[in-house]
């Protein structure tokens, strides 16, 4: 085991918080992963509350708004305003998509280290 890790974990074992280095590393890693998942769940929850829908619904909604611009039925001002709104929503879509993918990754990692 890495000497730095051993030095960091040794006080936890000495105070009987954990029985072994492996137990300490496993539990601390598990807690870290759970915090990452919780953070991403809160981020996803904020997007869901803001838009009143789940990610796939938001993706469909964004596509439908893009189609409105392509149809050419809007005035130049309406197209410009909608285009600006869509650009902002696309930025949030990317953040939301990233959070969705990261949470899946963290969940997979959690399953890998589960005892």
pLDDT for 28-66, tens place per residue?
999 999 999 999 999 999 999 999 999 999 999 999 988
pLDDT, tens digit, 9 for 90 and up, residues 21-36: 889 988 999 999 999 9
Residue 73: per-residue pLDDT: 81
Q: Check if the beta carbon of residue 54 is closer than 8 Å to that of residue 48.
A: yes
Burial of 75 from C-beta contacts in 10 A (0-12 / 13-18 / 19+): exposed
Residue 36: per-residue pLDDT: 97
Decide: helix, strand or coil at residue 8: helix
Selected residue with higher pLDDT from 115 and 95: 95
Q: What are the CA-CA distances from residue 43 to residues 35, 36, 68, 99, 102 (Å)?
A: 12, 11, 29, 7, 11
pLDDT band at 115 (very low <50, low <70, confident <90, very high): low
- The whole model's pTM is what? 0.81
Mean pLDDT of 57-83: 89
Whether the CA torsion 8, 13, 14, 16 is positive or negative: it is positive
pLDDT over 80 (residue 2):
no
Residue 54: per-residue pLDDT: 97
Q: What is the CA radius of gyration of the chain?
A: 23
């Amino acid at each position: 085991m890495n000497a730095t890790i051993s030095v960091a974990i040794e006080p936890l074992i000495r105070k009987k918080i954990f029985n072994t280095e492996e137990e300490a590393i496993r539990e601390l890693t598990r807690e870290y992963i759970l915090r990452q998942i919780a953070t991403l769940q809160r981020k996803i929850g904020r997007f869901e509350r803001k838009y009143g829908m789940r990610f796939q619904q938001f993706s469909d909604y964004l596509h439908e708004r893009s189609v409105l611009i392509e149809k050419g039925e809007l005035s130049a001002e309406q197209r410009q305003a909608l285009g600006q709104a869509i650009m902002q929503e696309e930025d949030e879509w990317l953040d939301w998509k990233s959070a969705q993918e990261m949470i899946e990754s963290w969940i997979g990692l959690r399953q890998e280290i589960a005892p």
